[in-house]
């Protein structure tokens, strides 16, 4: 079964949410529209709707996370689901058998939906292939492959500030090579017919065939930021220095750090985004992060609504053994 | 026992023979082709009417998992699978557990083979360095004298280039063949997919071409320096083919092989994260696959191996980067070979050469020929009847094959080893398959 077939029902509805690639513009738009309706719920004093009442959601995080995990938890709670959150300490040598055993044990507890983060690319598909009928998998990050809910909350954020994707120039800056967020963002932006998608990074932090993703590649930040409407900064992991991918944090900041000065290259109404957690003074200056063009904290808020949207759309599917 | 194999289309690439004729076997050897020797009375007649009669296949890269990983496979299961698939000679790389670096391990392999009924000839490849640790030279002469046909460090790295050079020099002094799978392990890093569009899209840790070609360039230089007769195993890149072509033009004593699956599958085939397509070296681009096919046709690539790596089910039941690499490949070697003919890549005599004659010649094995005086290893092949590949029905303990569902039109119907027709496994298997229909 192809990757796209795996996450859709025979009717083309969401069965799992594993990957942005292969989804239609209509489906992405539907997720964004649904999320819009949940924004209102979060503003009410009683922040709950009963869409997932009686369902149990398990957060299965094989990798550390604060933001993603807690916003998934809140999203499930606001949909009235029961939620079980597990941090699974794993060694680098964890074997497939024990992964599946973990999943099967939890399935035996009648879990309806798994939210899974794992260090291996393709792990979400692996889990989705092995859960029973009527059980869904939401990918909360698989290796360097995909982080689809993050990408959708980023699209939601962009749509809140900018109207028409087709007229936008969007630049993604930083470690594209290791970033599942960037891969999902690029797919989502292209599916939504974004005018131009740019990636800006040194060659050591770019995948070999980056252009094949449908982006323009820049190694120079100033050139890449010129006239963009949206700047998405990516987190720089400290371990990139030891892997000889970069000389030092200071040199990275010199070349790719987003400062007030450099942001002037972008359009005056450009917004600045970051999936978090941000390294102040390494990839982004505090003044930019806390400045008027930053929408970073709004992204977090929207994350709850977007995750509610995806969960409710999956829950709305009748159980089937697709 | 005296056997007459009657009426088969006999192919012997070494002599250029390709005609419908009879083959006479006396005990373990081929007595004659065409006319029966004086006074020859066959104890048994085997009809090869309408079928092909080829020298038994020679697979120079086959992992048996014994000793060390017998939960995955055993010599008994794998020689049974090989024999039924028309393979009569198998070379075992030294990375068993413990490695093939002393005579005890070699004796164990031969003992297991004997106990299993001696279904194939097994030829261990000895370790170039002790324990495959890449630091001290192994007792190469002792390994040679206990029956190792070549020396290799398998996938293990040398401590440094100096050790590699000395290992090659020393082996050359003994006149032994050195086998190298060119790989720069630091460039491999933790990679599991060809560095290209697919790995970019799926976020799979990439293996660059240079992980093979940079190592190969260095290895070829060391061949030039040491004069060691060297065979390069399981090449995957277009550039590697070109480098070997040039090395041969330069008169260097090099040869090479390609794993059968590299001639069919490409990186795009792992789109669905199917761990049965996880191999090392990884499946490369279509351009690489085409260059490998071209190299095979023009003789730059001397032979095809199975690179058989049986895995148990759990080893493949994991997310792609964490699964174990390798394909259970013995039982698809011959039928995929015939697909190469169907697809116009090579012709039948070339296929027989790449799968039998050439590997036997390079590794110095008494095999790969159908001629009077040669050991009577032969396979009768039936073609033209469509068969859908079903890995669940493999005789190998490893059912890990990405070729399930492929249409095959050739299969071994009888494999003789040193004049002995297969009795048990192949006959039983054929009966089982027949009753499945």
Q: What CATH number is given for B56-363 in this structure?
A: 3.20.20.140
| A107 domain residue, yes or no | yes
Residue A138 shares a structural domain with residue A156: no
Compute the distance between CA of residue B164 and CA of residue B186 in angstroms, rounded to an integer: 16
CATH pick for B2-53+378-436 out of 1.10.260.30, 3.90.330.10, 3.40.50.12780, 2.30.40.10: 2.30.40.10
- Residue-level pLDDT at A322: 39
Residue B423, Cα to own-chain centre: how many angstroms?
Answer: 24
Q: Domain containing A80 — which CATH number?
A: 3.40.50.1370
Q: What is the pLDDT of residue A5?
A: 86
pLDDT grade for A272, boundaries at 50, 70 and 90: very high
**Element containing residue A84 per DSSP (H, E):** strand A82-87
State the catalytic residues of B: 307
pLDDT digits (tens, 9 = 90+) for B246-284: 999 999 999 999 999 999 999 999 999 999 999 999 999
Task: Examine the pLDDT at B425 and tell me if it is beyond 50.
Answer: no
The two structure tokens encoding residue B257: 């092989």
Number of domains in chain A: 2
Identify the sign of the CA torsion B417, B420, B421, B424: negative
Mean pLDDT, to the nearest integer, of B130-137? Answer: 97
Per CB-CB distance under 8 Å, the chain B contacts of A183 are 201, 203
User: How far apart (Å, rounded) are the C-alpha atoms in residues B55 and A196?
Assistant: 61
Whether A139 and A155 map to the same domain: the answer is no
- Mark yes or no for CB contact B202/A121 under 8 Å: yes
Check if the beta carbon of residue B198 is closer than 8 Å to that of residue B221: no
A133 shares a domain with A37: yes
- Rounded to an integer, the average pLDDT of B49-68 is 97
Question: Is pLDDT at B403 greater than 80 in this prediction?
Answer: yes
* Phi-psi sector, B134: left (phi>0), alpha (psi -120 to 50), beta: left
First-last CA distance in chain A? 11
Q: Are A79 and A94 in a shared domain? A: yes
- The whole-angstrom distance between A160's CA and the closest CA on chain B is 28
**Residues 6+ away with beta carbon under 8 Å from A223:** none
Average confidence (pLDDT) over B169-191: 96
- On whether any CB of chain B is under 8 Å from the CB of A1, the answer is yes
- Judged against a pLDDT cut of 90, whether residue A40 lies above it is answered with no
- pLDDT tens for A193-217 read 999 999 999 999 999 999 999 999 9
Together in a domain, A168 and A230: yes
Scan for tokens 């393979």, then name that residue. Answer: B87
In a domain? residue A94: yes
Give the ranges where B14-102 is alpha helix by DSSP (H). 75-84
Domain membership of residue A10 as a residue range: 3-146+303-315
> Do A116 and A167 belong together in one domain?
no
A140 and A226 co-located in one domain? no
- Please tell me whether residues A82 and A158 are part of one structural domain: no
* Contact flag B200-A212 (C-beta cutoff 8 Å): yes
- Domains of chain B, by residue range, sit at 2-53+378-436, 56-363
> Among A97, A117, A122, which would you mutate to test the B interface (most chain B Cβ atoms within 10 Å of its Cβ)?
A122
Region B290-298 average pLDDT: 98
Average pLDDT over chain B, rounded to an integer:
95
Q: Which of A79-83, A315-319, B310-314 has the lowest mean pLDDT?
A: A315-319
Is residue A33 in a domain?
A: yes
In a domain, A320, yes or no: no
Same domain, A55 and A120: yes
Q: Is the pLDDT of residue A92 over 80?
A: no
| Per-residue model confidence as pLDDT tens digits over B359-376 | 999 999 999 999 999 999
β-pairing, B17-26 vs B2-12, is antiparallel
Residues A177 and A162 in one domain: yes
> If DSSP codes are grouped into helix, strand and coil, which group holds residue B331?
helix
Q: How confident is the model at residue B427 (pLDDT cuts 50, 70, 90)?
A: low
Phi (first) and psi of residue B50, to 5 degrees: 75, 10
Task: Evaluate whether B374 touches B29 at the Cβ level (below 8 Å).
Answer: yes
The tens digit of pLDDT for each residue in A279-311 reads 999 999 999 999 999 999 999 999 999 999 999
A–B CB contacts, 8 A cutoff, strictly below: 89
> A293 and A307: one domain?
no
Mean pLDDT, chain A, integer: 92
Query: Are the CB atoms for A304 and A42 separated by under 8 Å?
Result: yes
Whether cis (ω within 30° of 0) applies to the bond prior to A277 is yes
Do A31 and A133 belong to one domain? yes
Q: Please report the pLDDT score of residue A101 as a whole number.
A: 85
CA distance to partner chain B, nearest, from residue A42 (Å):
34
pLDDT digits (tens, 9 = 90+) for A135-175: 999 999 999 999 999 999 999 999 999 989 999 999 999 99
| The pLDDT value given to residue A317 | 79
For residue B317, what is the nearest residue in chain A, using CA coordinates?
A96
E-strand spans in B334-431? 378-388, 407-416
């Amino acid at each position: 079964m192809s990757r796209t077939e795996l996450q859709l029902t025979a009717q083309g509805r969401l069965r799992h949410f594993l990957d942005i690639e292969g989804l239609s513009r209509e489906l992405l738009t539907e997720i964004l529209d649904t999320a819009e309706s949940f924004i209102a719920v979060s503003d009410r004093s009683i922040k709950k709707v009963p869409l997932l009442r009686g369902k149990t959601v398990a957060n299965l995080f094989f990798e550390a996370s604060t933001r993603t995990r807690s916003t998934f938890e809140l999203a499930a709670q606001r949909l009235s689901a029961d939620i079980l959150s597990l941090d699974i300490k794993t060694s680098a040598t964890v074997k497939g058998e024990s992964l599946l055993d973990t999943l099967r044990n939890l399935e035996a507890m009648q879990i309806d939906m798994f939210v899974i983060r794992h260090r291996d690319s393709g792990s979400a598909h692996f889990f989705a292939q092995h859960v029973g009928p009527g059980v869904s998998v939401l990918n909360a990050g698989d290796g360097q492959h995909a982080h689809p809910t993050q990408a959708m909350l980023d699209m939601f954020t962009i749509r809140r500030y900018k109207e028409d994707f087709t007229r936008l120039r969007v630049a993604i800056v930083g470690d594209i090579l290791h970033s599942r967020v960037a891969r999902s963002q690029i797919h989502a932006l292209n599916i939504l017919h974004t005018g131009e998608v740019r990636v800006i990074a040194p060659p050591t932090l770019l995948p070999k065939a980056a252009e094949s993703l449908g982006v323009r590649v820049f190694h120079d930040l100033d050139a890449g930021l010129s006239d963009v409407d949206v700047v998405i900064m990516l987190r720089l992991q400290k371990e990139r220095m030891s892997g000889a991918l970069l000389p030092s944090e200071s040199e990275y900041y010199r070349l790719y750090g987003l400062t007030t000065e450099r942001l002037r290259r972008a359009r005056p109404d450009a917004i600045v985004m970051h999936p978090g957690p941000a390294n102040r003074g390494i990839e982004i200056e505090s003044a930019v992060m806390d400045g008027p063009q930053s929408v970073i904290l709004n992204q977090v808020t929207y994350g709850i609504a977007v995750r509610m949207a995806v969960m409710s759309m999956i829950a709305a599917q009748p159980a089937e053994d697709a | 026992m005296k056997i007459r194999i009657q009426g088969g289309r006999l192919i012997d690439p070494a002599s250029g023979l390709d005609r419908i004729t009879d083959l006479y076997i006396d005990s373990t050897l081929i007595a004659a082709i065409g006319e029966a020797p004086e006074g020859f009375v066959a104890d048994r007649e085997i009809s090869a009417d309408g079928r092909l009669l080829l020298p038994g296949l020679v697979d120079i890269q086959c992992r048996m998992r014994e000793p060390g990983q017998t939960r995955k496979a055993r010599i008994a299961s794998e020689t049974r699978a090989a024999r039924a698939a028309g393979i009569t000679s198998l070379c075992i790389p030294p990375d068993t557990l413990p490695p093939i670096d002393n005579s005890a391990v070699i004796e164990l392999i031969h003992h297991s083979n004997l106990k299993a009924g001696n279904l194939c000839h097994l030829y261990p490849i000895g370790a170039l360095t002790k324990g495959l640790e890449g630091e001290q030279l192994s007792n190469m002469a002792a390994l040679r004298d206990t029956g190792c046909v070549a020396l290799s460090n398998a996938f293990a790295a040398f401590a440094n280039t100096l050790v590699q050079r000395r290992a090659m020099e020393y082996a050359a002094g003994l006149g032994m063949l050195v086998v190298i799978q060119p790989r720069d392990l630091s460039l491999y890093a933790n990679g599991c997919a060809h560095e290209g569009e697919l790995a970019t899209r799926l976020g799979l840790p990439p293996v660059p071409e240079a992980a093979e070609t940079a190592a190969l360039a260095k290895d070829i230089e060391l061949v030039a320096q040491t004069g060691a007769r060297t065979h390069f195993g399981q090449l995957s890149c277009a550039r590697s083919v070109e480098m070997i072509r040039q090395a041969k033009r330069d008169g260097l004593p090099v040869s090479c092989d390609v794993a059968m699956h590299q001639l069919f599958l490409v990186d795009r085939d792992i789109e669905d994260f199917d761990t049965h397509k996880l191999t090392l070296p990884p499946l490369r681009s279509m351009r690489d696959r085409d260059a490998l096919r071209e190299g095979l046709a023009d003789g730059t690539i001397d032979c095809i191996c199975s690179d058989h790596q049986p895995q148990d089910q759990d080893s493949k039941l994991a997310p792609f980067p964490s699964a174990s690499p390798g394909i259970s490949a013995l039982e698809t070697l011959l039928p995929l070979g015939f697909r190469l003919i169907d697809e116009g890549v090579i012709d039948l005599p070339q296929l027989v050469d790449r799968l039998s004659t050439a590997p036997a010649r390079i590794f110095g094995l008494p095999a790969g020929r159908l001629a009077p005086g040669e050991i009577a290893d032969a396979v009768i092949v039936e073609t033209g009847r469509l068969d859908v590949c079903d890995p669940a029905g493999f005789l190998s303990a490893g059912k890990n094959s990405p070729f399930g569902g492929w249409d095959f039109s050739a299969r071994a119907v009888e494999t003789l080893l040193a004049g002995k027709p297969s009795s048990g496994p192949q006959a039983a298997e054929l009966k089982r398959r027949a009753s499945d229909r």
